[in-house]
A and B are shown apart, each in its own frame.
Chain A
Amino acid sequence: MDDFYFYIMTIIATSVAIFLIRLLHVLYLTGKSRRLKSPQPLSTLIVLGSGGHTAEMMNLLSVLQMDRFTPRFYIAAATDNMSLQKARVFEDSLLHKKVIKGSSAQFMQIYRSREVGQSYVTSVCTTLLATTHALWLMVKIRPQVVLCNGPGTCIPLCVIAFLFKVIGIRWSSIFYVESIARVKRLSLSGLLLYKLCIADQFFVQWPQLQRKYPRAHYVGCLM
Protein backbone atom coordinates (compact mmCIF):
# COMPACT_ATOMS: atom_id res chain seq x y z
CA MET A 1 0.00 0.00 0.00
CA ASP A 2 2.85 2.33 0.89
CA ASP A 3 4.33 1.64 -2.52
CA PHE A 4 1.10 2.71 -4.16
CA TYR A 5 1.11 6.07 -2.39
CA PHE A 6 4.76 6.48 -3.16
CA TYR A 7 4.12 5.99 -6.88
CA ILE A 8 1.15 8.37 -6.87
CA MET A 9 3.16 11.02 -5.04
CA THR A 10 6.07 10.59 -7.44
CA ILE A 11 3.78 10.99 -10.44
CA ILE A 12 2.16 14.12 -8.99
CA ALA A 13 5.51 15.64 -8.01
CA THR A 14 6.98 14.93 -11.45
CA SER A 15 3.94 16.45 -13.21
CA VAL A 16 4.11 19.57 -11.07
CA ALA A 17 7.84 19.87 -11.70
CA ILE A 18 7.39 19.46 -15.46
CA PHE A 19 4.60 22.04 -15.44
CA LEU A 20 6.71 24.51 -13.46
CA ILE A 21 9.73 24.03 -15.73
CA ARG A 22 7.49 24.50 -18.77
CA LEU A 23 5.92 27.60 -17.16
CA LEU A 24 9.36 29.11 -16.52
CA HIS A 25 10.40 28.27 -20.07
CA VAL A 26 7.30 30.01 -21.51
CA LEU A 27 7.85 33.01 -19.22
CA TYR A 28 11.45 33.14 -20.44
CA LEU A 29 10.28 33.12 -24.06
CA THR A 30 7.52 35.70 -23.45
CA GLY A 31 8.50 39.01 -24.97
CA LYS A 32 11.13 37.38 -27.17
CA SER A 33 10.52 37.73 -30.85
CA ARG A 34 10.21 34.43 -32.68
CA ARG A 35 11.27 35.39 -36.17
CA LEU A 36 9.91 33.06 -38.79
CA LYS A 37 11.97 32.30 -41.87
CA SER A 38 9.04 32.69 -44.22
CA PRO A 39 6.34 34.66 -42.41
CA GLN A 40 2.86 33.27 -42.97
CA PRO A 41 -0.54 34.77 -42.19
CA LEU A 42 -1.39 34.41 -38.53
CA SER A 43 -4.84 33.77 -37.08
CA THR A 44 -5.63 36.78 -34.93
CA LEU A 45 -7.96 37.36 -32.02
CA ILE A 46 -9.07 40.97 -31.62
CA VAL A 47 -10.76 41.92 -28.35
CA LEU A 48 -13.12 44.90 -28.58
CA GLY A 49 -14.91 46.90 -25.90
CA SER A 50 -17.14 49.93 -25.48
CA GLY A 51 -15.93 53.13 -23.87
CA GLY A 52 -13.28 54.01 -26.44
CA HIS A 53 -11.50 50.64 -26.63
CA THR A 54 -13.04 49.69 -29.98
CA ALA A 55 -12.27 53.07 -31.56
CA GLU A 56 -8.61 52.79 -30.55
CA MET A 57 -8.41 49.20 -31.79
CA MET A 58 -9.88 50.22 -35.17
CA ASN A 59 -7.19 52.90 -35.49
CA LEU A 60 -4.55 50.23 -34.96
CA LEU A 61 -6.16 47.73 -37.33
CA SER A 62 -6.37 50.35 -40.07
CA VAL A 63 -2.55 50.55 -40.21
CA LEU A 64 -1.80 46.83 -39.84
CA GLN A 65 -1.38 44.81 -43.04
CA MET A 66 -4.52 42.72 -42.86
CA ASP A 67 -3.25 40.00 -45.18
CA ARG A 68 -0.73 39.13 -42.47
CA PHE A 69 -3.37 38.86 -39.75
CA THR A 70 -5.75 36.32 -41.28
CA PRO A 71 -8.21 34.91 -40.34
CA ARG A 72 -9.48 37.46 -37.82
CA PHE A 73 -11.75 36.73 -34.88
CA TYR A 74 -13.46 39.68 -33.22
CA ILE A 75 -14.76 39.26 -29.69
CA ALA A 76 -16.88 41.75 -27.73
CA ALA A 77 -19.01 41.52 -24.60
CA ALA A 78 -22.52 40.17 -25.14
CA THR A 79 -23.96 43.41 -23.74
CA ASP A 80 -22.00 45.55 -26.17
CA ASN A 81 -23.90 45.79 -29.44
CA MET A 82 -21.91 48.62 -31.03
CA SER A 83 -18.39 47.18 -31.16
CA LEU A 84 -18.98 44.19 -33.45
CA GLN A 85 -21.03 46.45 -35.71
CA LYS A 86 -18.01 48.76 -36.06
CA ALA A 87 -15.79 45.76 -36.78
CA ARG A 88 -18.22 44.60 -39.50
CA VAL A 89 -18.14 48.05 -41.10
CA PHE A 90 -14.34 47.93 -41.01
CA GLU A 91 -14.21 44.46 -42.59
CA ASP A 92 -16.69 45.54 -45.29
CA SER A 93 -14.50 48.55 -46.10
CA LEU A 94 -11.50 46.21 -46.49
CA LEU A 95 -13.47 44.13 -48.98
CA HIS A 96 -14.57 47.25 -50.84
CA LYS A 97 -11.05 48.61 -51.09
CA LYS A 98 -9.92 45.14 -52.21
CA VAL A 99 -7.34 45.07 -49.41
CA ILE A 100 -8.42 41.50 -48.75
CA LYS A 101 -9.88 39.02 -51.20
CA GLY A 102 -12.53 36.93 -49.49
CA SER A 103 -14.01 37.66 -46.09
CA SER A 104 -11.92 35.98 -43.43
CA ALA A 105 -13.43 37.50 -40.33
CA GLN A 106 -15.66 36.03 -37.63
CA PHE A 107 -17.56 37.95 -34.99
CA MET A 108 -18.25 36.50 -31.56
CA GLN A 109 -19.80 37.63 -28.32
CA ILE A 110 -18.59 36.67 -24.87
CA TYR A 111 -20.33 36.73 -21.50
CA ARG A 112 -18.92 39.25 -19.11
CA SER A 113 -17.70 38.15 -15.68
CA ARG A 114 -19.34 41.08 -14.04
CA GLU A 115 -21.60 43.87 -15.16
CA VAL A 116 -21.14 47.32 -13.68
CA GLY A 117 -22.96 47.39 -10.34
CA GLN A 118 -23.51 43.62 -10.06
CA SER A 119 -23.36 42.13 -6.54
CA TYR A 120 -20.28 40.10 -5.56
CA VAL A 121 -22.30 37.00 -4.63
CA THR A 122 -23.81 36.55 -8.09
CA SER A 123 -20.47 37.59 -9.57
CA VAL A 124 -18.95 34.25 -8.51
CA CYS A 125 -21.44 32.32 -10.66
CA THR A 126 -21.22 34.67 -13.62
CA THR A 127 -17.41 34.62 -13.49
CA LEU A 128 -17.43 30.81 -13.67
CA LEU A 129 -19.84 30.94 -16.58
CA ALA A 130 -17.80 33.60 -18.35
CA THR A 131 -14.55 31.66 -17.89
CA THR A 132 -16.07 28.47 -19.28
CA HIS A 133 -17.42 30.40 -22.23
CA ALA A 134 -14.03 32.04 -22.82
CA LEU A 135 -12.35 28.61 -22.72
CA TRP A 136 -14.85 27.23 -25.23
CA LEU A 137 -14.26 30.15 -27.62
CA MET A 138 -10.48 29.91 -27.27
CA VAL A 139 -10.46 26.17 -27.97
CA LYS A 140 -12.34 26.92 -31.18
CA ILE A 141 -10.15 29.89 -32.22
CA ARG A 142 -6.67 28.88 -30.98
CA PRO A 143 -5.23 32.24 -32.15
CA GLN A 144 -1.58 32.84 -32.98
CA VAL A 145 -1.86 36.56 -32.26
CA VAL A 146 -3.96 38.27 -29.57
CA LEU A 147 -4.57 42.01 -29.86
CA CYS A 148 -6.27 43.73 -26.94
CA ASN A 149 -6.39 47.14 -25.33
CA GLY A 150 -8.09 47.01 -22.01
CA PRO A 151 -11.70 45.87 -21.73
CA GLY A 152 -12.12 43.45 -18.81
CA THR A 153 -13.15 40.65 -21.18
CA CYS A 154 -9.55 40.43 -22.44
CA ILE A 155 -8.23 39.03 -19.14
CA PRO A 156 -9.69 35.50 -19.29
CA LEU A 157 -8.88 35.33 -23.01
CA CYS A 158 -5.24 36.33 -22.49
CA VAL A 159 -4.80 33.99 -19.52
CA ILE A 160 -6.19 31.09 -21.56
CA ALA A 161 -3.94 31.98 -24.51
CA PHE A 162 -0.97 31.96 -22.12
CA LEU A 163 -1.99 28.58 -20.65
CA PHE A 164 -2.29 27.18 -24.18
CA LYS A 165 1.39 28.10 -24.59
CA VAL A 166 2.36 26.38 -21.35
CA ILE A 167 0.40 23.22 -22.13
CA GLY A 168 1.60 23.27 -25.69
CA ILE A 169 -1.78 23.54 -27.43
CA ARG A 170 -0.89 26.69 -29.36
CA TRP A 171 1.92 29.22 -29.31
CA SER A 172 0.68 32.81 -29.53
CA SER A 173 1.99 36.34 -29.28
CA ILE A 174 -0.04 38.59 -26.99
CA PHE A 175 -0.02 42.35 -27.63
CA TYR A 176 -1.57 44.78 -25.21
CA VAL A 177 -2.07 48.50 -25.88
CA GLU A 178 -3.09 50.42 -22.77
CA SER A 179 -5.98 52.79 -23.47
CA ILE A 180 -5.24 56.44 -24.19
CA ALA A 181 -7.47 57.30 -21.23
CA ARG A 182 -4.79 55.90 -18.88
CA VAL A 183 -2.25 58.63 -18.32
CA LYS A 184 -0.87 58.04 -14.82
CA ARG A 185 -2.05 54.59 -13.75
CA LEU A 186 -2.59 51.35 -15.64
CA SER A 187 -6.06 49.86 -15.85
CA LEU A 188 -6.69 46.68 -13.84
CA SER A 189 -6.47 44.63 -17.06
CA GLY A 190 -3.20 46.30 -17.99
CA LEU A 191 -1.73 45.91 -14.52
CA LEU A 192 -2.52 42.18 -14.42
CA LEU A 193 -1.08 41.47 -17.86
CA TYR A 194 2.02 43.53 -17.06
CA LYS A 195 2.70 42.11 -13.61
CA LEU A 196 2.00 38.49 -14.60
CA CYS A 197 4.23 38.90 -17.67
CA ILE A 198 1.47 37.53 -19.89
CA ALA A 199 1.73 40.16 -22.63
CA ASP A 200 4.62 39.70 -25.04
CA GLN A 201 4.61 43.37 -25.87
CA PHE A 202 2.98 46.01 -23.73
CA PHE A 203 2.36 49.46 -25.21
CA VAL A 204 1.47 52.70 -23.42
CA GLN A 205 0.40 55.97 -24.98
CA TRP A 206 1.80 58.41 -22.42
CA PRO A 207 5.44 58.86 -21.35
CA GLN A 208 4.50 59.06 -17.65
CA LEU A 209 3.34 55.43 -17.73
CA GLN A 210 6.47 54.22 -19.45
CA ARG A 211 8.59 55.78 -16.70
CA LYS A 212 6.53 53.92 -14.12
CA TYR A 213 6.44 50.61 -16.02
CA PRO A 214 9.83 50.29 -17.74
CA ARG A 215 9.05 47.06 -19.61
CA ALA A 216 6.32 48.94 -21.54
CA HIS A 217 6.94 50.49 -24.95
CA TYR A 218 5.93 54.15 -25.29
CA VAL A 219 4.29 54.61 -28.69
CA GLY A 220 2.59 58.03 -28.51
CA CYS A 221 -1.13 58.64 -28.92
CA LEU A 222 -3.14 56.37 -31.20
CA MET A 223 -6.13 58.71 -31.36
Chain B
Amino acid sequence: MVVKLSGGVHFGHNRIIDNEKFEMGDTRDSVSLKRIVFVTVGTTCFDALVKAVDTLEVKQELTRRGYTHLLIQMGRGTYVPTKSLGEDGLMAVDYFTFSSSIADHLRSASLVISHAGSGSIFETLRHGKPLIVVVNEDLMDNHQSELAEELAARKHLYCAHPQSLHQVIAGMDLESLLPYQPGDATPVAKLINRFLGFPDD
Protein backbone atom coordinates (compact mmCIF):
# COMPACT_ATOMS: atom_id res chain seq x y z
CA MET B 1 0.00 0.00 0.00
CA VAL B 2 1.39 3.34 -0.98
CA VAL B 3 0.70 5.90 1.66
CA LYS B 4 0.06 9.24 0.05
CA LEU B 5 -1.01 12.25 1.99
CA SER B 6 -3.38 14.89 0.74
CA GLY B 7 -0.70 17.45 1.47
CA GLY B 8 1.44 15.93 -1.25
CA VAL B 9 4.03 14.25 0.93
CA HIS B 10 5.29 11.04 -0.54
CA PHE B 11 6.58 9.47 2.55
CA GLY B 12 9.42 7.11 1.86
CA HIS B 13 9.55 8.37 -1.71
CA ASN B 14 6.57 6.25 -2.71
CA ARG B 15 8.14 3.16 -1.26
CA ILE B 16 5.61 0.63 -0.11
CA ILE B 17 5.33 0.84 3.63
CA ASP B 18 4.38 -2.61 4.86
CA ASN B 19 4.03 -1.67 8.46
CA GLU B 20 1.08 -3.30 10.22
CA LYS B 21 0.03 0.09 11.54
CA PHE B 22 -0.86 1.21 8.05
CA GLU B 23 -2.69 -1.90 6.98
CA MET B 24 -5.69 -1.48 9.14
CA GLY B 25 -8.60 0.49 7.74
CA ASP B 26 -8.62 2.51 4.58
CA THR B 27 -6.17 5.17 3.50
CA ARG B 28 -7.96 7.92 5.36
CA ASP B 29 -7.65 6.03 8.63
CA SER B 30 -3.96 5.49 8.15
CA VAL B 31 -3.52 9.16 7.29
CA SER B 32 -5.19 10.17 10.51
CA LEU B 33 -2.83 7.87 12.36
CA LYS B 34 0.16 9.60 10.87
CA ARG B 35 1.65 12.30 12.99
CA ILE B 36 4.68 13.60 11.19
CA VAL B 37 7.59 15.47 12.72
CA PHE B 38 9.27 17.48 9.98
CA VAL B 39 12.89 18.48 10.61
CA THR B 40 14.35 21.19 8.37
CA VAL B 41 17.81 22.78 8.19
CA GLY B 42 17.07 24.95 5.11
CA THR B 43 20.06 25.41 2.84
CA THR B 44 22.54 25.12 5.70
CA CYS B 45 24.69 22.30 7.01
CA PHE B 46 23.53 21.47 10.51
CA ASP B 47 24.69 17.94 11.30
CA ALA B 48 24.35 18.51 15.04
CA LEU B 49 20.57 18.85 14.63
CA VAL B 50 20.24 15.83 12.33
CA LYS B 51 22.34 13.79 14.78
CA ALA B 52 20.23 15.00 17.69
CA VAL B 53 16.91 13.96 16.13
CA ASP B 54 18.47 10.65 15.15
CA THR B 55 19.30 9.77 18.77
CA LEU B 56 17.31 7.14 20.61
CA GLU B 57 16.29 9.50 23.40
CA VAL B 58 14.76 12.06 21.03
CA LYS B 59 12.98 9.39 18.99
CA GLN B 60 11.67 7.74 22.18
CA GLU B 61 10.42 11.06 23.47
CA LEU B 62 8.68 11.88 20.17
CA THR B 63 7.11 8.40 20.06
CA ARG B 64 5.92 8.81 23.63
CA ARG B 65 4.23 12.05 22.62
CA GLY B 66 2.34 10.26 19.86
CA TYR B 67 4.36 11.14 16.78
CA THR B 68 4.69 8.31 14.26
CA HIS B 69 6.93 9.61 11.50
CA LEU B 70 10.14 11.56 11.36
CA LEU B 71 10.99 13.25 8.06
CA ILE B 72 14.35 14.99 7.93
CA GLN B 73 15.41 17.60 5.39
CA MET B 74 19.17 17.45 5.91
CA GLY B 75 20.39 20.14 3.48
CA ARG B 76 24.13 20.21 2.92
CA GLY B 77 24.89 18.08 5.97
CA THR B 78 27.03 14.97 5.72
CA TYR B 79 25.61 12.99 8.63
CA VAL B 80 23.13 10.49 7.21
CA PRO B 81 20.42 9.40 9.65
CA THR B 82 19.29 5.79 9.84
CA LYS B 83 16.21 5.08 7.80
CA SER B 84 13.57 3.06 9.54
CA LEU B 85 10.15 1.73 8.72
CA GLY B 86 9.23 1.87 12.36
CA GLU B 87 9.06 -1.86 13.07
CA ASP B 88 11.12 -1.42 16.21
CA GLY B 89 8.20 0.27 17.96
CA LEU B 90 9.77 3.65 17.39
CA MET B 91 9.00 6.16 14.65
CA ALA B 92 9.46 5.61 10.94
CA VAL B 93 12.41 7.70 9.78
CA ASP B 94 13.09 9.07 6.33
CA TYR B 95 15.24 11.86 4.95
CA PHE B 96 16.06 13.90 1.87
CA THR B 97 18.51 16.71 1.10
CA PHE B 98 16.48 19.40 -0.66
CA SER B 99 12.96 19.73 -1.99
CA SER B 100 11.04 22.36 -3.87
CA SER B 101 7.89 21.48 -1.93
CA ILE B 102 8.91 22.42 1.62
CA ALA B 103 5.50 24.10 1.99
CA ASP B 104 3.78 20.73 1.40
CA HIS B 105 5.96 19.07 4.02
CA LEU B 106 5.17 21.84 6.49
CA ARG B 107 1.46 21.54 5.80
CA SER B 108 1.38 17.80 6.49
CA ALA B 109 3.53 18.03 9.64
CA SER B 110 2.14 17.90 13.17
CA LEU B 111 5.35 19.30 14.64
CA VAL B 112 8.25 21.11 12.99
CA ILE B 113 11.82 21.12 14.29
CA SER B 114 13.80 23.77 12.44
CA HIS B 115 17.15 25.52 12.29
CA ALA B 116 17.08 29.16 13.43
CA GLY B 117 16.99 30.79 9.97
CA SER B 118 14.31 33.48 9.79
CA GLY B 119 12.94 32.09 6.51
CA SER B 120 12.17 28.66 7.98
CA ILE B 121 10.88 30.12 11.25
CA PHE B 122 8.37 32.49 9.67
CA GLU B 123 7.25 30.04 7.03
CA THR B 124 6.44 27.49 9.75
CA LEU B 125 4.66 30.08 11.89
CA ARG B 126 2.62 31.20 8.88
CA HIS B 127 1.44 27.61 8.49
CA GLY B 128 0.42 27.69 12.14
CA LYS B 129 2.48 24.62 13.05
CA PRO B 130 3.98 23.98 16.47
CA LEU B 131 7.68 24.71 16.18
CA ILE B 132 10.87 23.92 18.04
CA VAL B 133 13.81 26.00 16.82
CA VAL B 134 17.24 24.48 17.40
CA VAL B 135 20.09 26.99 17.50
CA ASN B 136 23.28 26.08 15.67
CA GLU B 137 26.07 26.73 18.15
CA ASP B 138 28.78 26.10 15.54
CA LEU B 139 28.06 29.31 13.66
CA MET B 140 30.73 31.97 14.14
CA ASP B 141 28.58 35.06 14.42
CA ASN B 142 25.66 33.63 16.28
CA HIS B 143 23.01 36.29 16.02
CA GLN B 144 20.46 33.66 15.00
CA SER B 145 19.59 32.74 18.57
CA GLU B 146 18.35 36.33 19.18
CA LEU B 147 15.29 35.87 16.99
CA ALA B 148 14.47 32.38 18.26
CA GLU B 149 14.81 33.46 21.91
CA GLU B 150 12.67 36.55 21.40
CA LEU B 151 9.91 34.56 19.69
CA ALA B 152 10.18 31.88 22.40
CA ALA B 153 9.80 34.57 25.08
CA ARG B 154 6.66 35.70 23.26
CA LYS B 155 5.43 32.08 23.32
CA HIS B 156 5.29 31.59 19.55
CA LEU B 157 7.69 28.66 19.57
CA TYR B 158 10.09 26.60 21.68
CA CYS B 159 13.81 27.19 21.50
CA ALA B 160 16.35 24.42 22.06
CA HIS B 161 19.98 23.46 21.59
CA PRO B 162 20.98 20.13 20.01
CA GLN B 163 21.83 18.64 23.44
CA SER B 164 18.66 19.89 25.14
CA LEU B 165 16.25 18.91 22.36
CA HIS B 166 14.88 15.79 24.08
CA GLN B 167 14.23 17.73 27.30
CA VAL B 168 12.36 20.44 25.40
CA ILE B 169 10.24 17.81 23.65
CA ALA B 170 9.50 16.12 26.98
CA GLY B 171 8.55 19.37 28.68
CA MET B 172 6.72 21.23 25.92
CA ASP B 173 3.07 22.17 26.19
CA LEU B 174 1.84 22.89 22.67
CA GLU B 175 -1.48 24.23 23.96
CA SER B 176 0.31 27.17 25.54
CA LEU B 177 1.82 28.39 22.26
CA LEU B 178 0.29 31.56 20.84
CA PRO B 179 -0.38 31.98 17.11
CA TYR B 180 1.94 34.44 15.36
CA GLN B 181 0.27 37.42 13.71
CA PRO B 182 2.10 38.01 10.42
CA GLY B 183 3.94 41.31 10.28
CA ASP B 184 3.20 44.27 8.10
CA ALA B 185 5.53 46.39 5.99
CA THR B 186 3.12 49.30 5.49
CA PRO B 187 4.55 51.45 8.35
CA VAL B 188 7.96 51.40 6.61
CA ALA B 189 6.38 52.12 3.24
CA LYS B 190 4.50 55.05 4.73
CA LEU B 191 7.65 56.58 6.23
CA ILE B 192 9.61 56.12 2.99
CA ASN B 193 6.83 57.72 0.95
CA ARG B 194 6.55 60.62 3.35
CA PHE B 195 10.30 61.16 3.35
CA LEU B 196 10.38 61.31 -0.44
CA GLY B 197 7.42 63.66 -0.58
CA PHE B 198 4.93 61.26 -2.08
CA PRO B 199 1.36 61.72 -0.84
CA ASP B 200 -0.18 59.21 1.58
CA ASP B 201 -3.09 57.43 0.01
**Interface SS of chain B:** helix
A65-B193 Cα distance, complex, nearest whole Å:
9
Nearest to A208 among chain B residues (CB) is B150
**A188: shortest Cβ distance to chain B, in Å?**
8
- The interface residues of chain B lying within 8 Å CB-to-CB of A39 are 196-199
* B170 part of interface (Cβ distance < 8 Å): no
Contact B193 A68 (CB under 8 A): yes
* Chain B positions 149-185 with a Cβ under 8 Å from a chain A Cβ: 149-150, 182-185
**How many contacts between A and B, using CB within 8 angstroms?**
95
Contact A220 B184 (CB under 8 A): yes
Q: Mark B120-140, 1 if CB is under 8 A from A, else 0.
A: 001000000000000000000
- The interface residues of chain B lying within 8 Å CB-to-CB of A200 are 195
Contact B146 A60 (CB under 8 A): no
Band of interface residues on B = 20 to 34
A106-B14 Cα distance, complex, nearest whole Å:
42
* B89 part of interface (Cβ distance < 8 Å): no
* A113 part of interface (Cβ distance < 8 Å): no
- The interface residues of chain B lying within 8 Å CB-to-CB of A63 are 184-186, 189
* A173 part of interface (Cβ distance < 8 Å): yes
* B25 part of interface (Cβ distance < 8 Å): no
* B143 part of interface (Cβ distance < 8 Å): yes
* A1 part of interface (Cβ distance < 8 Å): no
Contact A206 B185 (CB under 8 A): no
**A49: shortest Cβ distance to chain B, in Å?**
12
**B200: shortest Cβ distance to chain A, in Å?**
11
A59-B118 Cα distance, complex, nearest whole Å:
14
* B194 part of interface (Cβ distance < 8 Å): yes
Nearest to B140 among chain A residues (CB) is A116
Contact A222 B183 (CB under 8 A): yes
- The interface residues of chain A lying within 8 Å CB-to-CB of B184 are 63, 220-222
Contact B189 A64 (CB under 8 A): yes
- The interface residues of chain A lying within 8 Å CB-to-CB of B198 are 39, 65, 68
With A39-B196, A203-B191, A222-B183 already in contact, 8 other A-B pairs whose C-beta atoms are closer than 8 Å:
A39-B197, A180-B118, A180-B183, A181-B146, A182-B146, A201-B191, A201-B195, A220-B183
List 26 interface pairs A-B (beta carbons < 8 Å), by A numbering: A33-B195, A34-B196, A35-B197, A36-B196, A51-B119, A52-B117, A60-B189, A62-B185, A63-B186, A63-B189, A65-B198, A68-B198, A145-B196, A173-B195, A173-B196, A175-B195, A180-B118, A180-B122, A181-B147, A183-B150, A184-B146, A201-B191, A219-B188, A220-B184, A221-B184, A223-B118
